[in-house]
A and B are shown apart, each in its own frame.
Chain A
Amino acid sequence: MLQRCLQGKGNSMESRESVLIGRMMAGMTHELKNVLAIIKESSGLLQDILSLGKGDAAPKPEQIEKVASRIQTHVARGNAQLSSLNWLAHSMSDGSSSVGINELSSESVNLMQRFARLKQVELGVQPTDRDLAIHTDVTRLFLVLVTCIEYYLDRESPKGRVAVRAGGIGEEATLAILTGSMGGPGTVERTGAGGDPLPSELASLEPLLRPLGVRLAFADTGAGTALHLILPLRRDEDR
């Protein structure tokens, strides 16, 4: 679905990116409505328990506690979603800026959770111990990453797992997308400056990769092929 947003013919890349962002926003606002619905019903249930309890029995403390706890859980859930949306909004308003690959990968995974849930696939993130900073157009890099994540979500069976693993090699940072059946992200063979040829579903990313300085490479893991996004680290003169 996100891949198709970037494939629209006759439209500029900017308008296609807008469509993709719009689709993500729609998904997130739907999630937030679900969260609000649970909070609304839970608070309504508290009112019901207190005012409509059958007979003269006083409300049970454990019943109140259970509902109150549910409200807190979903306030936290909503807050996490809003934080990620806020991150995306700031990345769009800040243009090119510095971002750590752990932050980029975790926020991207947060924003893709709804899509993963609808495909019944578990989506996770594996941060790196060295949080490497890259200086880039964060929004466009985010769009590349979520499009690649969706590519794997589409190919994974229900109840499967997809993970985004952050890492670094030399002067480059990597974000590897792999499925649960793969023991590790595999090793990227030497690739050309343009990276590996892309499958048709990801061909729409080509116009975004060169300006970002990003290469996509596939690595054989022995149990499938992981996709690596290879990103130049923020250079000292950029600090």
Chain B
Amino acid sequence: MKDFKVLLVDDEQEFIETLSERLKMRDLDAKLALDGEQALDAVRDEEPDVMLLDLKMPGMDGMEVLRQIKKAYPNVQVVMLTGHGSEKDEEQALRLGAYAYLQKPVDLEHLVTTLRDAFKNKVVRKVDATMMAATFAEAGEVETARQIMDQEEDPLGTKKKKGRK
């Protein structure tokens, strides 16, 4: 499993600093964000593969971050990790596209497995798109193949809107 990019989002700074040290020892480098706005800025700077996201934070809460991330960066896999134990929140998070919803305190090995599974989920989805595009290309439908790959790389057509050819 190749290395993948992780973003940890939580207002408890010592928690994510400690977690990031432990993940680093397991060959998982992680960037940190202390609130929703920082998280969105970090994703704009460099899109992570997987985001670990707290629910209750000052300012923009995790559910709103999730909503915005899945809208603008649907390929980012989001794992919720929260001390807030509401089933209603779990249902809503999963409905909004979260990959998993975990409770604090969490067993680290279970967390690492979940992060890796989330990344695998992203890879599988990308492979599916690539295979589909290859199938259309082999059938001579090159334009359709190109559209599939464009959609996979830029789901909202952001690059097209910026005039990129």
Contacts and interface: CB of A to CB of B under 8 A. Distances in A.
Nearest to B83: A33
A235 B105 CA distance: 48
Contact of B104 (A34, A45, A67, A70): A34
B14 A48 contact: no
Contact of A118 (B25, B56, B82, B108): B56
A58 to B, nearest CB: 16
Contacts, number: 64
A31 B83 CA distance: 7
A45 B18 contact: yes
Contact of B25 (A26, A48, A74): A48
Interface in B31-74: 56-59
Nearest to B81: A37
B15 A158 contact: no
A121 to B, nearest CB: 9
Contacts of A135: none
Contacts of A26: 84
Given A118-B56, A118-B58, A30 B84 contact: yes
Contact of A41 (B18, B59, B82, B83): B18
A42 interface: yes
B21 interface: yes
B103 interface: yes
B12 interface: yes
A44 B90 CA distance: 27
Given A37-B105, A44-B108, A30 B56 contact: yes
A36 B104 contact: yes
Interface centre among A38, A48, A70, A74 (most CB of B within 10 A): A38
Interface in B1-45: 11-12, 14-15, 18-19, 21-22, 25
Nearest to B19: A41
Contacts of A33: 83, 85, 103-105
A119 B58 CA distance: 6
A52 B104 contact: no
Interface in B87-132: 103-106, 108
B27 to A, nearest CB: 11
B15 A38 contact: yes
A117 B13 CA distance: 14
A118 B61 CA distance: 9
Contacts of A40: 105
A120 interface: yes
Contacts of A120: 58-59
Contacts of B18: 38, 41-42, 45, 67, 70
Contacts of B85: 29-30, 33
13 contacts: A30-B56, A30-B83, A30-B84, A32-B83, A33-B104, A34-B83, A41-B15, A42-B18, A44-B22, A45-B18, A52-B25, A70-B18, A118-B56
Interface of A: 26, 29-34, 36-42, 44-45, 48, 52, 67, 70, 74, 117-120, 158
Q: For the complex of A and B, list the 6 residue pairs with the smallest distance between their C-beta atoms, beginning with the closest.
A: A33-B83, A37-B104, A37-B105, A40-B105, A41-B18, A30-B83
